[in-house]
Structure 1
Amino acid sequence: MPLEFTAIDFETANSSSASACSVGLVKVRDGTVVDRAGWLIRPPYGHDAFLEWNTRIHGITADDCEDAPDWATQLPKLLAFADGDHLVAHNAGFDMGVIAATSTAVGVVVPDFRYVCSLQLARRTYHLDSYRLPVAAMAAGFEDFRHHDALADAEACAAIVIHAARRHEAGDLEQLAHITRVKVGAIGPVATAERASVHGPMAFG
């Protein structure tokens, strides 16, 4: 199978994982970027305070997001873009946590996604002093992007995975994860079902 996935990156208004304020998405087909999308998100009530620290990092303010659609409105758009792909993110636990927490905050079902962490792939592919996104992206030949712009970060993430797949001669994302011994994670009902099958129903009592 060809190398196909959707790279994703979120920025948040504050330290709450439920405070998504922007998202960037990059679609890869047969090892090539074929589509990009990004938009602002109005964080849910109770998670909508924009901290100075966060704004200093990504440049997004409360005024920028005041008229943006909320998460519940935009989640179908995100799902349509991903179209069943595995997701890839740098430090994927953060970005998957944003999907789960923001969905829970607005009362919608956490969507099913399988995902791979490009940070872990970079650790198994390059020998670097740091594996932060700009450094790992540079090792993949992707330089001079606007770090903490969600779309630019998603593009950098995609570049790392494409380059790592070539380095490891992996035909698809599952094979790349297998070769590098990086776990394919899951969120949503599929993840709950898989944990139950491993640990038994009492694990969730």
Structure 2
Amino acid sequence: MDFCAIDFETATHEKSSACEMGICVVQDSRIIETKTWLIKPPSFPYFSRFNIGVHGITPEDVKDAPTFDEIWHEAQDMIYGSLMIAHNAGFDASVLRGCFEYYGMFTPQLNYLCSIQLAKKSWNYLPKYGLKSLAEYHSINFNHHRAGADAEVCAKISLLAFEKLFLTSNDEVHEYMKAKIKRL
């Protein structure tokens, strides 16, 4: 099983306002690397108080950080050719698209899957499918609403879901989840 989990935190409601990105790379069903980047968003120095209240990232934290277009090449090398998984993937895909559009960058042809959909197929008896609820259910501790930690927990939950569903290869995942896999 090879995939990458991705997560974004944003500075404002604008989809291009990524202020942190985390990517967790899984190869042969093992987490091999998790990386986090602080990002100076286009809105800098403005950050929504609501967003700061969620993730705790402030303008001071990103004042010397690179912009999205300056770090994408490194991130792209980590996810090239992989299935991308995110928890509430519609949000993360829209942030990724928003950043590409803002910087006039080519949007890669990435397939992505939402780990909420995967969790609902794996544990259809749970009352909640938020990342925090699923982590608590599986006794996984993490620093919620920080991109690297969220991406890594998304990867761990996805691996547990694949195991529960007896999915052992990317081909099996594509076949089983084909209606849920979207294209960036």
The TM-score normalised by the length of structure 1 is: 0.84
Partner of 2:181: 184
Structure 1 residue 107 corresponds to structure 2 residue 104: yes
**CA 1:88–1:48 in structure 2 vs 1: closer, same or farther (change >3 Å)?**
farther
Q: Secondary structure at the match of 2:37?
A: strand
**CA 1:47–1:119 in structure 2 vs 1: closer, same or farther (change >3 Å)?**
farther
Structure 1 residue 58 corresponds to structure 2 residue 59: no
Read off the aligned partner of 1:55 and give its amino acid letter. Answer: I
Q: Gaps spanning 5+ residues in structure 2: where?
A: none
Contact 1:121 1:182 in 2 (8 A): no
- 1:177 Cα deviation from its structure 2 partner: 4.8
Contact 1:142 1:159 in 2 (8 A): no
Q: Secondary structure at the match of 1:124?
A: helix
Structure 1 residue 171 corresponds to structure 2 residue 152: no
- Residues of 2 paired with 1:181 and 1:142: CA distance? 29
- 1:82 Cα deviation from its structure 2 partner: 1.1
Contact 1:13 1:48 in 2 (8 A): no
Structure 1 residue 27 corresponds to structure 2 residue 21: no
Q: Gaps spanning 5+ residues in structure 1: where?
A: 188-205
- 1:174 Cα deviation from its structure 2 partner: 4.1
- 1:57 Cα deviation from its structure 2 partner: 0.8
Pairing of 1:5-84 with structure 2 (within 5 A): 5-44=3-42, 46=43, 49-84=46-81
- Residues of 2 paired with 1:67 and 1:57: CA distance? 22
Partner of 2:142: 145
Contact 1:168 1:176 in 2 (8 A): no
Aligned length: 183
Which has the higher relative contact order, 1 or 2, with Cα contacts under 8 A spaced 6 or more apart?
2
Q: Secondary structure at the match of 2:111?
A: strand
Contact 1:120 1:182 in 2 (8 A): no
- Residues of 2 paired with 1:106 and 1:68: CA distance? 16
Contact 1:23 1:150 in 2 (8 A): yes
**CA 1:136–1:31 in structure 2 vs 1: closer, same or farther (change >3 Å)?**
same
Contact 1:7 1:155 in 2 (8 A): yes
- Name the Cα RMSD after superposition: 1.6
Aligned-residue sequence identity (percent) comes to 34
Of 84, 95, 100 in structure 2, the residue corresponding to residue 87 of structure 1 is 84
Runs of 4+ in 1 over 4 A off after TM superposition: none
Of 141, 152, 157 in structure 1, the residue corresponding to residue 154 of structure 2 is 157
Q: Which 10-residue stretch deviates more, 174-183 or 152-161? A: 174-183
Partner of 2:133: 135
Partner of 1:191: none
The TM-score normalised by the length of structure 2 is: 0.93
Q: Deviation string for 1:54-89 (max 9, x for gaps)?
A: 011111011111111111111111101113211100
Read off the aligned partner of 2:134 and give its amino acid letter. Answer: A
Q: Secondary structure at the match of 2:149?
A: helix
- 1:18 Cα deviation from its structure 2 partner: 0.8
**CA 1:137–1:181 in structure 2 vs 1: closer, same or farther (change >3 Å)?**
farther
